[in-house]
Structure 1
Amino acid sequence: MSDFNIAAKSKEEQDKVNVDLAASGVAYKERLNMPIIAEQVAREQPEHLREYFMERVRHYRELSITLPKASDPRYLDMASQNEKK
């Protein structure tokens, strides 16, 4: 189970996990047409990991092509159900 504990990893590994999470967040927001500027998020990452960040953004953008867009009926149904609450 300690293989999954990020706190047990080295600082470099922790930084890479955080950069990867930021990259997936950028692709997610782009997919749902939410306002996000990837270059701005990239500038917030450690300088030595910026190229890795852009690589991961490209990866997640490619993956997001296979996922539903913001106009998908599933998301519209969820939005209408949330409004009722």
Structure 2
Amino acid sequence: MSGFNLAATSKEDQDKVAIDLVASGVAYKERLAMPVVAELVAREQPEHLREYFWGRLEHYRQVSAQLPDKNATEYAKKEDEVKR
């Protein structure tokens, strides 16, 4: 995929990639219990892409449900790293 150039895609495809990034960010913050309001984020997106945003957000929420939550040991910092 290193040969894939987003600048060579259509503006519509670039916008959809940007929406995907925003939707995945919302799902990430929700999973880690960080403050985020999906409705406010959706309002910031272009009106013609809001339905696409909601679809992608639902997809990323489903993917996120399979990942560890904020209390998982994978995210716990080791005591040595904290003291540095």
Please give the TM-score of this superposition, normalised by the length of structure 2.
Answer: 0.90
Give structure 2 stretches of 5+ with no counterpart: none
Give structure 1 stretches of 5+ with no counterpart: none
Identity across the alignment (%): 60
Query: 1:42 and 1:81, CA in 2 relative to 1: closer, same or farther beyond 3 A?
Result: farther
How well do the aligned residues superpose, as a CA RMSD in angstroms? 1.4
Aligned: 1:28 with 2:28? yes
User: Residue by residue, what CA displacement relative to the aligned partner does 1:19-60 show, whole Å, maximum 9, x if unpaired?
Assistant: 010000000000000000001110111110000000000000
Please give the TM-score of this superposition, normalised by the length of structure 1.
Answer: 0.89
- Equivalent residues, number: 82
Alignment of 1:59-70 (within 5 A): 59-70=59-70
Query: 1:31 and 1:60, CA in 2 relative to 1: closer, same or farther beyond 3 A?
Result: same
More helix by share: 1
Partner Cα separation in structure 1 for residue 54 and residue 81 of structure 2 = 34
> 1:43 matched to which residue of 2?
43
